Structure 1
């Protein structure tokens, strides 16, 4: 999944939206319940007063019957006026309501009608019909009882509605709370545990772990983003590990190459006047450091372009390689062809040069078509330069030795020339002296002494 797929994925089950909707529903239902309860409570406010008024009508009807017997006109009229005021009170009309078809409205109308049509005339007409009024009182009280009962039932119904609203609101709130908790557990706690587990795995370096949570919500989007990040971190970590391994291998190869060059330079520095055996002994370490095919060394005459010695790393006796046909160098694959050998390999050459002199070649066998790596070429070039320097220094030393010998011989010749010339000149003078002694007639003893000196001088010059 690409980055755009993650960021533009639709959130069909948004946690924020669902939570907001749940709170809106709970608040809305609670508000409706409160408003309904307030309305019903407001409608009940006059019911208690209406019940009291209706109950007082029963007592007042009995009092009117008693006052009619006592024949107290003024007090009777006052109670009749009070009775009618109570019967027509606003609290009763409010409790009854405006529905003419309701039971309360029918019972109240029946009671009012009985009062005006049957009971009030019995008290106002002369003579008063007290017996008939007293007979009507129980019937009127019974009708009032029915009205009070109906009024009480209506008031209790309103209370039941309020109680139902409260219970329904409570049940709805509890049910919504249950669903919210269930949603929180499935859509919040569970994915958070997965994301926490994934974060801990990433913290321990395990970038291949996944968050196993799929949902079209914010945490599902976060889980997909975490999985994408984990994959990218795993790829990056693997890439870095490969880079580190490559750099480590390069450093190891560089260290091995430096160690090989150092050991080779030290060996060649400590070698005798003839460096060729030491060069041949270094071919096997070079081959091991390269990790390639056999490495061989072919050296030229100083004055000719033909080989005079060849060595290979695979031969313990330092014999020429298998393709070499010494002394017939014209048959060498390097000279006769393009360096390809019969076994499917080819020779790669590195020239050994010292100034303008071609000292030979350092060769390595590789499969045909497989080139050497850059570091292998650099190492072989460095080894070839080191071998060429060693051979050049050896030749230079030999030349210097020859020059020193020639100078020493010239000095000896000059010294011999000077000393012999002096001895011969002295003997020439001695010979002249001997002739004069003979001519002068010197005694034989003097002549023999002079002749002995001449002989001694000649012997010394000869020595």
Structure 2
């Protein structure tokens, strides 16, 4: 591609069209990436083949060098055997060792050792000479050596030794000659590889300049002239690769810039105005979201929401209305800028009685000018009577549920743009989420109060109600005994009454203590110690408290439920166990465990399970355990005490 530029505004549109309309196969073939990848792969394959060839030659040279070393050792070992035979029987072990070494060397040369590497060259002359050496050793030298080792004299071995050495020496020279040829070939290959690398590098530099650098310089020159506002510059389209497509795109961009430059300032001003509007809308949305997330009651929430929306859109009046649970009435929550008569009349009205209710059923209602609405001459809207000229009503939505509507009243003619309508709908959704969150929070608090009242009722039923029932029976018996003058029976009933009154008093104190308990983070240990100490003072029993573990503290809600379970368990021990000692153990690790064990009379779990009504104290403990997702287990046998075990697993623990 040429690096020249042209200032002709009609620069070769036919070439650009031909480049765009070229067939897909042709485009793929002409793509710069295809040429670069193909050239690189060819160069890589050639270089890899040359390097592989030189590595193969060097590996052969290394194996042949090891073979030369081992073949040369044959001469030394054969001569060593001859020397040992000349020294007589004393050197027979050396002769046998030399024989074994020669045979091991021949076997190694025959099979090769790729790991060293060691192997004979594949030349036929070398292979024939090696087989001649092996044959000479096996057919002549080895039998002569065997007879010499058997005591028949070593003359035959010594006579054939020079011939064996000469053949081994000839094998060594043949291998050396082969290595010399391969060394020359290796050097020639390395020189060729060097030449190929140099030529390939120069070729790649030239191709990269031709394919990439020259087009980039041409494109850079066009961009520089474009930056100087020379919008008549065009690039010649001389190829069908990526740079050809860039040239086509550059020319198209130049055409568009030259057409848009005159109206650029107006467009920039318009975009700036749009961005400013969007920024204001985003600020309003974020500010409203921050306000709605604050803690306040529903009326203050609605009043603050309405004040911000009126200020944002310049409305002189506004109102927020919610639909009652039955869905047929619309209740006014807050209003500003509306006269007292209007708010009094529309404090509670049917959903379909006015435009504010109609918006909850049909969607957005926007009235630009009341005077232009088609209606009967005698019909006049209450907003119009109050002096308002325009109205905009939007729904308050939570998910797919319509909670109500909010309205903006304008005293002058006011139109609502689509962007403003979208923003107001978004604000209605934010208000719907905030109202729904307040309602859910109120329901959650009501549910918590109801649960605590239920537990309180169960506690009263299990303790005070039963105690009062017992006292009522004793009073009736006392009344009958007093009428009949049975003083001995009266003397028996009075201590029972005193005991019943004292137990009821203790039950009341325990209940008051339970429902006044409040814990903050990290105060569980102190609460456990206070509860155990109070139980010890009330009963005089021996109570041991062990607290182990260095786990994370429980949150206040879970701490409080654990403390309630301990109090209920100790209360049951006081009332029913007839125990002498009590042991309370707390282990706070990954899991949280609470164990309360006594040595009292215990109970039969099967007998308790067959009762028509379960023990209320046990039910309360189970409910409190379920509330914090813990597992409560009661273990007991008659006359063997009882154990209450609470396990709060790690996955159920809340972060304090």
TM-score tier after normalising by the smaller chain length: 0.3 to 0.5
TM-score with structure 2 length normalisation? 0.31
TM-score with structure 1 length normalisation? 0.43
Q: Between Structure 1 and Structure 2, whose CA radius of gyration is higher?
A: 1
Greater share of helix residues, 1 or 2? 1
Using CA pairs below 8 Å that are at least 6 residues apart, which structure has the higher relative contact order?
Answer: 1
